[in-house]
């Protein structure tokens, strides 16, 4: 099913496709060169979320055409504090491609992600598709095959993380890489709302949180995503990985460091960063 994206300015005119294409190309150039670019928001109608998703979708279609494989989605802006900071009242989403997956404990190259930061999250792997226009949390629960601890390595192609909601959406929700833990858990084996999270570096805790920080419960975030994906014509399918959103604050990732996330009931997972060359 093809994705459906639309965007109109206040006067009713559709945002020109050449603008969308140029901004998508700017982001791709930053990916390819490793040099962050200027924000894109100034060239989109203020507050036009759909225009930003059109930029993201332009690059999604480009990368799929280039042979990358879509394996899931990531949800961002699930924290009420971050939503307030960016003056939004909703999460956002981005695409997960197979080449973004890093095995637990494998080294991440120093130049793999621009301006990397890490977030500890609950990841879900679906065993059933979610095609409903208005799915319930019960629908989502039935669709989930298992959950696992995960680390998302977020990054920004926008210089100095100078972003608003349009910038991060256009930039594939500031995605980078993701690391899944090796322990699989059924939903009844852990408490998604109360599960505690800690990220440690060199044995010291540097971030803490809990499942409730993710829209009250990580499954609430997945339910939102499932509905949004149907509305936008790219529904979640069996086998998809869903990174459900941060359980605590982002942490800037430093070269040569190892970060371990522990989530109650889900085990642990590590992100290992190579030293700078």
Asked whether residue 262 is domain-assigned, the answer is yes
Share of the chain above pLDDT 90, in %: 88
Encoded tokens for 223: 């339910």
Domain at 94, CATH number: 3.90.850.10
User: Phi, psi at residue 118, to the nearest 5°?
Assistant: -120, 150
**Does the pLDDT value for residue 10 go beyond 50?**
no
Mean pLDDT on 48-69:
97
Asked whether residue 34 is domain-assigned, the answer is no
Q: Is 235 helix (H, G, I), strand (E, B) or coil?
A: coil
- Tens digits of residue pLDDT in 22-37: 999 999 999 999 999 9
Rounded CA-CA distance 159/10 in Å is 29
Nearest CA-CA partner of 253 in 227, 275, 230:
275
Nearest CA-CA partner of 243 in 72, 27, 49, 84:
72
**Does the pLDDT value for residue 2 go beyond 60?**
no
Q: Which residues are CB-contacts of 15 (< 8 A; sequence separation ≥ 6)?
A: 7, 8, 9, 44, 45, 48, 51, 54
Strand segments (E) across 90-239: 92-97, 101-102, 107-108, 117-126, 144-154, 177-180, 196-201, 204-210
Asked whether residue 236 is domain-assigned, the answer is yes
Asked whether residue 162 is domain-assigned, the answer is yes
Asked whether residue 33 is domain-assigned, the answer is no
pLDDT band of residue 69 (cuts 50, 70, 90) is very high
Asked whether residue 31 is domain-assigned, the answer is no
CB 76 within 8 A of CB 91: yes
- Tens digits of residue pLDDT in 222-270: 999 999 999 999 999 999 999 999 999 999 999 999 999 999 999 999 9
Whole domain around residue 237: which residue ranges? 69-273
Asked whether residue 79 is domain-assigned, the answer is yes
Asked whether residue 247 is domain-assigned, the answer is yes
Cα dihedral value 125, 52, 115, 182, nearest 10: 0
């Amino acid at each position: 099913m093809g994705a459906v994206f639309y965007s109109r300015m206040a006067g009713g005119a559709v945002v020109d496709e050449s603008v969308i294409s140029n901004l998508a190309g700017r982001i791709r150039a930053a990916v390819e060169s490793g040099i962050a670019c200027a924000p894109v928001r100034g060239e989109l109608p203020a507050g036009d979320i759909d225009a930003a998703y059109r930029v993201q979708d332009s690059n999604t279609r480009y990368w799929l055409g280039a042979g990358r494989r879509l394996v899931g989605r990531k949800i961002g802006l699930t924290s009420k504090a971050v939503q307030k900071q960016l003056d939004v009242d909703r999460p956002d989403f981005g695409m997960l491609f197979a080449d973004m997956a890093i095995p637990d404990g494998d080294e991440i190259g120093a130049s793999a992600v621009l301006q990397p930061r890490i977030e500890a999250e609950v990841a879900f792997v679906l065993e059933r598709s979610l095609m409903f226009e208005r799915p319930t949390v019960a629908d989502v629960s039935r669709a989930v095959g298992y959950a696992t601890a995960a680390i998302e390595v977020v990054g920004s192609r926008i210089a100095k993380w100078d972003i608003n909601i349009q910038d991060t959406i256009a930039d594939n929700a500031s995605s980078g890489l993701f690391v899944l833990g090796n322990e699989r858990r059924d939903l009844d084996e852990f408490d998604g709302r109360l599960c505690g999270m800690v990220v440690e570096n060199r044995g010291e805790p540097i971030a803490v949180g809990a499942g409730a920080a993710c829209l009250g419960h990580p499954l609430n975030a997945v339910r939102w995503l499932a509905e949004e994906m149907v509305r936008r014509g790219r529904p979640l399918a069996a086998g998809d990985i869903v990174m459900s959103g941060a359980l605590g604050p982002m942490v800037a990732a430093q070269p040569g460091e190892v970060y371990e996330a522990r989530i109650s009931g889900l085990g642990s997972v590590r992100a290992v960063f190579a030293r700078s060359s």
